[in-house]
Amino acid sequence: MSTASRKVAVALVSAVSLATLAACGSGSDDNSTKAAGGDTSAAAKGGVTQVKVTLTSGANGDTCGVDTKSVPAGPITFTIANQSATGVSEVELLQDQKIVGEKENLAPGLAPVSLTLTLGGGDYQIYCPGASDEMVPFTVTGKAAASPTGTAADLLQQGTVGYGKYVTTQVDAMVTAVQKLQQDIDSGDLQAAQKQYGVARPFYEKIESDVEGFVLPGYKPTDNHGNLDYLIDMRASNLDPAVGWHGFHAVERDLFQGQKITAKTKKLAAELTTNVQKLAQLSTSLTYKPEDLANGAAGLLEEVQKNKISGEEENYSHIDLVDFAANVEGAQQAFAYLKPGLTEIDSAMTDTIAQRFDAVNKMLDGYRDPAQIGGYQRYTAALKASDANKLSQTVQALQDALAHLAEKVATA
């Protein structure tokens, strides 16, 4: 995506301002008992409906327990506690493929965290990746949130605004996760730092197409000394000897290949924190056109094909499938925000793309492993040899469906 036109601490999607989360009352004085069809077990406190999400581990795997699955429209606070689930580290609220709200890095034994959203009536899903039943249906009764209105072009433009908020939350969450990575490295805790590396990495991969063109003030675009994408995400394969190795993968090399934390590792981690903070500052200027979202989604899938399936991206940690999943999420969110307008233009194309995303996600679910860093199997040479072709073909089918998306939305 053009930069000119474009989940320790926890990330929160500030979704209350999105079109899909327009504030609306329940039309009831008692949110816990009077909403038609609402679950009376949902307690109300100060006019805010309370929902408890509890993550536990049992004989059949980790579970995602929700104390009520139907609540009235209006302000809702989700209180999330991970009691013992080692394989579930995040909880998301979804609607129509969009991530409405999320909490991440939910390690067992940490204090409960809360997420408050103002929701309109409709069907939602509480998504707990890694749980035995990952998707829990969740219904909000009463008045539905106002749907986006206007021409196809209006709907697409509204989608760019919502997507911009998604990007902002991912950048902010990356800063928080990288700061925690630096803390673990500074403390000398190799195991904690390795695990946190898997937490921090996905954020950049979700939005790389949006932020890869930023250059620090005073540098030319061709000078990697000031190229933030290079300084944050460069790999051994594209090393610029004049600048040296920096960023995520330099830290990865020390943590996973070197298996130790040195003074140089600490320096690299501090530098990484500084650079993602600079990126966060610069990215506040991003604006988007509908075709930016379409081109960005395509670019993220090209990243999957080129660097993740090849195993080039995470050469030392082998968490390429973690990055793979992050690229897919970013692409899917771009599509989801274009979906209302695209449905007006070509409903058949919209349905096909949605189905292809579902196929990729279903395939990725088969590689989940809560015992591994990032929650996915390590992408070893043996796994690459046996599965790379299947992975590539499934992604290619999605790429084919997206081939004309940018043209469609640019000419709406």
Asked if residue 76 and residue 134 are part of one domain, the reply reads yes
Q: What is the pLDDT of residue 222?
A: 84
In degrees and rounded to multiples of 5, residue 254 shows phi and psi of: -70, -45
Judge whether 242 lies within some domain: yes
Q: What is the pLDDT of residue 147?
A: 65
Judge whether 255 lies within some domain: yes
> Nearest-5° angle of CA 190, CA 193, CA 197?
140
Give the structural domain span for 317: 152-410
Asked if residue 129 and residue 265 are part of one domain, the reply reads no
- Identify the burial level of 97 via C-beta atoms within 10 angstroms of its C-beta, where 0-12 means exposed, 13-18 middle and 19 or more buried: middle
Asked if residue 375 and residue 296 are part of one domain, the reply reads yes
Residues 6+ apart with CB under 8 A from 12: 101, 102, 103, 115, 169
Asked if residue 328 and residue 247 are part of one domain, the reply reads yes
Among residues 196, 18, 185, 267, which one has the least CA distance to residue 118? 18
- Taking a C-beta distance cutoff of 8 angstroms, is the pair 345, 408 a contact? yes
Judge whether 1 lies within some domain: no
Whole-angstrom distance, CA of residue 5 vs CA of residue 296: 12
- Taking a C-beta distance cutoff of 8 angstroms, is the pair 272, 178 a contact? yes
Whole-angstrom distance, CA of residue 52 vs CA of residue 241: 52
Q: What is the pLDDT of residue 17?
A: 36
Q: What is the pLDDT of residue 412?
A: 85
Query: Residue 391 has which token pair?
Result: 């992975």
Asked if residue 268 and residue 215 are part of one domain, the reply reads yes
Of 141, 176, 191, which residue sits at a domain end? 141
> Nearest-5° angle of CA 260, CA 256, CA 269?
65
Of 109, 141, 173, which residue sits at a domain end? 141
In the chain, the amino acid numbered 81 is A
Whole-angstrom distance, CA of residue 21 vs CA of residue 166: 13
Whole-angstrom distance, CA of residue 33 vs CA of residue 40: 5
> In this structure, are strands 48-58 and 74-82 parallel, antiparallel, or unpaired?
parallel
Task: Give the domain CATH number at 202.
Answer: 1.20.1420.20
Q: What is the pLDDT of residue 238?
A: 81
Task: Give the domain CATH number at 108.
Answer: 2.60.40.420
DSSP string, 239-262: --TTT---SHHHHHIIIIII-S--
- Taking a C-beta distance cutoff of 8 angstroms, is the pair 103, 80 a contact? yes
Rg (CA), the chain: 21
* H or E, element range at 171: helix 152-186
User: Model confidence over 352-369: pLDDT tens digits?
Assistant: 999 999 999 999 999 998
Asked if residue 76 and residue 173 are part of one domain, the reply reads no
Residues 6+ apart with CB under 8 A from 360: 328, 394, 395, 398
Asked if residue 213 and residue 348 are part of one domain, the reply reads yes
Judge whether 10 lies within some domain: no
* H or E, element range at 92: strand 91-95
Cα atoms in the Cβ-side hemisphere of radius 13 Å centred on 274: 10
The distance from CA 388 to its chain's CA centroid, rounded to whole angstroms, is: 23
Of 96, 121, 141, which residue sits at a domain end? 141
pLDDT by residue, tens only, the chain of 412 residues = 444 343 333 333 333 333 333 333 333 333 333 333 444 456 667 789 999 999 999 888 899 999 999 999 999 999 999 999 988 888 999 998 888 888 887 889 989 998 888 899 999 999 998 898 899 999 999 987 776 678 999 999 999 999 999 999 999 999 999 999 999 999 999 999 999 999 999 999 999 999 888 888 899 888 999 999 999 999 888 888 899 899 999 999 999 999 999 999 999 999 999 999 999 999 988 999 999 999 999 999 999 999 999 999 999 999 999 999 999 999 999 999 999 999 999 999 999 999 999 999 999 999 998 889 999 999 999 999 999 999 999 999 999 999 999 999 998 8
Query: Residue 75 has which token pair?
Result: 């302000």
Q: What is the pLDDT of residue 14?
A: 36
Whole-angstrom distance, CA of residue 298 vs CA of residue 409: 14
Asked if residue 123 and residue 189 are part of one domain, the reply reads no
Q: What is the pLDDT of residue 122?
A: 93
Judge whether 106 lies within some domain: yes
Judge whether 97 lies within some domain: yes
Query: Residue 290 has which token pair?
Result: 């509908």
How many domains is the chain built from?
2
Whole-angstrom distance, CA of residue 306 vs CA of residue 116: 39
Asked if residue 233 and residue 106 are part of one domain, the reply reads no
Among residues 43, 55, 45, 47, which one has the least CA distance to residue 80? 55
Among residues 405, 320, 409, which one has the least CA distance to residue 356? 405
Torsion sign across C-alpha atoms 329, 169, 165, 201: negative
Asked if residue 193 and residue 119 are part of one domain, the reply reads no
In the chain, the amino acid numbered 178 is V
Judge whether 234 lies within some domain: yes
Residue 141 gets the label, from left (phi > 0), alpha (psi -120 to 50) or beta, of beta
pTM above 0.95, yes or no: no
- Taking a C-beta distance cutoff of 8 angstroms, is the pair 47, 31 a contact? yes
Asked if residue 262 and residue 115 are part of one domain, the reply reads no
Q: What is the pLDDT of residue 168?
A: 92
Asked if residue 163 and residue 135 are part of one domain, the reply reads no
Q: What is the pLDDT of residue 43?
A: 66
